[in-house]
Amino acid sequence: MSQQTVLVINCGSSSLKFSLINPTNGEVSISGIAERLASPEAFIKISFNNEKSVIALSAPFDHQIALQYLVEFLNKHDLTKQVSAIGHRVVHGGESYSQPTLINSDVKNSIASLAQLAPLHNPVNLIGIEAAEQAFPELKQVAVFDTAFHQSMPEKAFIYGIPYQLYKEQGIRKYGFHGTSHYFVATQAAKALDKPLAEFSGITAHLGNGCSICAIDNGESVDTSMGLTPLAGVVMGTRSGDIDPSIIFHLINQLGYSADEVDTLLNKQSGLLGISQMSNDCRTIEDAIINDNNVQANLTMDIFCYRIAKTIASYMAAISHFDALVFTGGIGENSDLIRERVGRSLALLNIKIDADKNSAVRFGKAGSIHEQGSQACLVIPTNEELVIAMQTQQLIEQGE
């Protein structure tokens, strides 16, 4: 009997990531990415049976063409019948969506109207949904929202200190992102500690190109560092994270920046890149510290780790008990240096990182990195695609 799989789609403005996942055992039969969409250099990379094929896309070089190539590939390898549904990562679900949702025209309309809050993401997510509807007209499509897990936050965590009607009338509040990842690693952490998710409380740190920290109390998100948009919170690859909002007026009124220039500065030229003046990639900054003892690289890393540690410590105000600190994301899963520096600042929370364990748990491994007698610190590789596949399958089965 053939295994049912879910096609998981994650659309960016010039890319479309996909994987065909068996939601029961997590097996990935096909994965890949279409890149440089909207340009004549557009191509699609497909990994299947340990082989990678790279195919140039034809005009109009868009998301639709990329999916047509994928459909042809699935047909050629007799895999189309195994696809039971399609799960889409959608960035912003606003207050309307706290659960995975079967896509229909109303849902598409509300994803479109939420583009006001996520102009860079929701419109391209919608392009992916519509391209998939055309490529797989007979299949059900499910939206899994990045904001959904954080819908359990209490008002005291999500209301900003600005006039309340801006929340009531315009939806300006903290939403939080990376929800699927925080949910996944919290679930895995609870399993590792042998308790149900509903009894797990702790802090999850998703540290990648974008970084966010989440306070989880008895299985629910109760606070998180990103806000109305993914610009808020800790310092990231190119994003500033939290700054004094008056810096924006200073840039505009005193230094002559336009609003768009400030937007670019804070989203694309700040963070690790802006401080180090070297790179947004942690590996480059770490190399500069280890090989050259570079002063600017050291300062960048100190700022990055201090801000993460400070946020983790502040979340002690949000949770009722503290089972574990969990690291995930490209940096959290791989950088023992950053985990060690973050841990060093949290000694008063009885966090003590074991150097040998810390250097051993990298490159896709999961494990604990704390000394005996310390608060539990875990490294758990995230798997947002698997969550999307599982939630999609679950919803489809409920509807049958």
Active site residues: 146
Q: Does 214 bind ligand AMP (CB under 6 A)?
A: no
Closest-by-Cβ residue to ligand AMP is 330
Least gap, CB of 200 to ligand AMP (angstroms): 22
Residue 111 one-letter amino acid: I
Q: Which of 133, 261, 281, 340 binds ligand AMP (CB under 6 A)?
A: 281
**CA distance linking residue 328 with residue 378, whole number of Å:** 9
Between the alpha carbon of residue 398 and those of residues 391, 393, 394, the distances in Å are 11, 9, 6
Comparing CB distances to ligand AMP, the nearer of 242 and 287 is 287
- Among 240, 334, 345, 393, the residue binding ligand AMP under the rule CB under 6 A is 334
Among 83-91, 216-224, 240-248, 279-287, the segment contacting ligand AMP (CB under 6 A): 279-287
| Nearer residue to ligand AMP within complex by CB, 5 or 276 | 276
Under rule CB under 6 A, which residues in 227-266 are in contact with ligand AMP?
A: 237
Q: What share of the chain is helix, strand, coil (3-state, %, to 5)?
A: 45, 20, 35
Contacts 24+ apart (CB under 8 A), 232-235: 232/174, 233/311, 234/304, 234/307, 234/308, 234/311, 235/211, 235/270, 235/271, 235/272, 235/275, 235/303, 235/304, 235/307
| Given 23, 233, 330, 343, the residue binding ligand AMP (CB under 6 A) | 330
**What Rg do the C-alpha atoms of the chain give, in angstroms?**
21
Of 73-81, 169-177, 185-193, 329-337: span binding ligand AMP (CB under 6 A): 329-337
| 209 in contact with ligand AMP (CB under 6 A) | yes
Angle CA(264)–CA(240)–CA(325) in degrees, nearest 5?
140
Question: Residue 157: CB partners within 8 Å, gap ≥ 6?
Answer: 174, 222, 223, 318
329 lines the binding site for ligand AMP (CB under 6 A): yes
- Does 208 engage in binding with ligand AMP (CB under 6 A)? yes
Task: For the CB of residue 278, give the shortest distance to ligand AMP in the complex, in Å.
Answer: 12
* 381 binds ligand AMP, rule: CB under 6 A: no
The size of the interface with ligand AMP (CB under 6 A), counted in residues, is: 12
- Of 30-38, 138-146, 326-334, 340-348, the window that binds ligand AMP (rule: CB under 6 A) is 326-334
> How far is residue 9's CA from residue 297's CA, in Å, rounded to a whole number?
36
CB atoms within 10 A of CB 221: 23
Minimum distance, C-beta of residue 181 to ligand AMP, in the bound complex (Å): 9
| CA–CA gap between residue 260 and residue 384 (Å, rounded) | 32
Site membership for ligand AMP, residue 365 (CB under 6 A)? no
Is the bond leading into 123 cis (omega within 30 degrees of zero)?
Answer: no
Residues that bind ligand AMP (CB under 6 A): 208-209, 237, 281-283, 286, 329-331, 334-335
